[in-house]
Amino acid sequence: MSQSTSGRRPPRVGDAPLFKYALIGAVLLLVLFFVVAPMAVIGLEAFSRGVPFFLETIAAPDTRHAIWLTVMTALIAVPINTIFGVAAAWAITKHDFRGKRLLTILIEIPFSVSPVVAGVAYLFVYGLQGIFGPTLDSAGLKILFALPGIVLASMFVTAPFVARELIPLMQAQGRDLEEAATSLGASGLRTFLSVTLPNIKWAMLYGVVLCNARVMGEFGAVSIVSGNIRGQTNTLPLHIELLYQDYNAVGAFAAASMLAALALVTLVAKVLLERQGAGRRNRPATLAGNTSEKIS
């Protein structure tokens, strides 16, 4: 076999210039129509009646309350789901126990269950006619149609995000670093803070960003458990729907622009975290040396 023949690279699917550029053009066209165009319409419609009307809509009491409620929900739900995700990933990847596969499946249930179904399920658990409803009502605790119910529904739909980012990474890393740290006398907490956390922080932050974006944009489950009470239990996505139903399309687009801005911020944070994580993965490291330095 000649050198030219042996060194020839086998053809790849789609290597033909015509097919390659046609495929790229089709993808760009789809992105233009299904992503760029709707985002552009939101911005144009939000300011179609001028900046004063936009600011007036955002400063309206109902809109401000919706923004406050959305932010408050995220401030409660995201940290709890972050702790849950880290604990779940640690248990699944660093320990062997019966039911590990079942636990992994249970964590991923929110991905396969409709948010509306989850909201209805919470009604049958915490509602007045539900399992715990009468007990909670007699104790004066209000879960549904209040902030606790909104937080619970948001936590359900976003529970897998952090865990799903951490589990593959921690499985690939193995247990060698933790075992080396414990053999050097480090406690479990010290091992986690000094060895495990630095190696998973970018993936964890990436999961937090995705979790936060989903919490702030959640509609289905929250619409069931919140009662959709204007100025009281309306999050920003629910408030956008109410504005649109009131034939205030420009006001709805103005409020929607807040969520669109969140999406852009999330996208930028996602790109930055991916770059940081890729840079960290490319750094060479020695197992024993790095571990002993971290716990010393």
Least confident of 86-95, 146-155, 273-282: 273-282
* Model confidence pTM above 0.85: no
Q: Specify whether the CB–CB gap between 143 and 152 falls below 8 A.
A: yes
For the segment(s) 51-295, the CATH number from 1.10.3720.10, 1.10.10.10, 3.40.1280.10, 2.60.40.1760 is: 1.10.3720.10
Which pLDDT belongs to residue 6?
Answer: 52
Which pLDDT belongs to residue 10?
Answer: 64
Indicate the burial class of 130 (C-beta count within 10 angstroms; 0-12, 13-18, 19 or more): middle
pLDDT at 189 over 70: yes
Read off the amino acid at residue 75. Answer: L
Which pLDDT belongs to residue 199?
Answer: 85
Secondary-structure breakdown of the chain: helix, strand, coil percentages, each rounded to the nearest 5: 75, 0, 25
DSSP H or E segment with residue 2: none
pLDDT > 70 in the chain, percent: 88
Q: Sorting pLDDT into bands at 50, 70 and 90, what band is 9?
A: low
pLDDT at 151 over 60: yes
- The DSSP letter of residue 13 is T
The pLDDT mean for the chain works out to 83
Q: Tokens at residue 163, please?
A: 């865990």
Burial pattern 58-73, b for ≥16 Cβ within 10 A else e, equals bebebbebbbebbeeb
Q: How far apart are CA 144 and CA 135, in angstroms?
A: 13
pLDDT at 283 over 80: no
Read off the amino acid at residue 160. Answer: P
Which pLDDT belongs to residue 238?
Answer: 93
CA–CA distance from 205 to each of 158, 171, 195, 201, 294 (Å)? Answer: 14, 18, 17, 6, 21
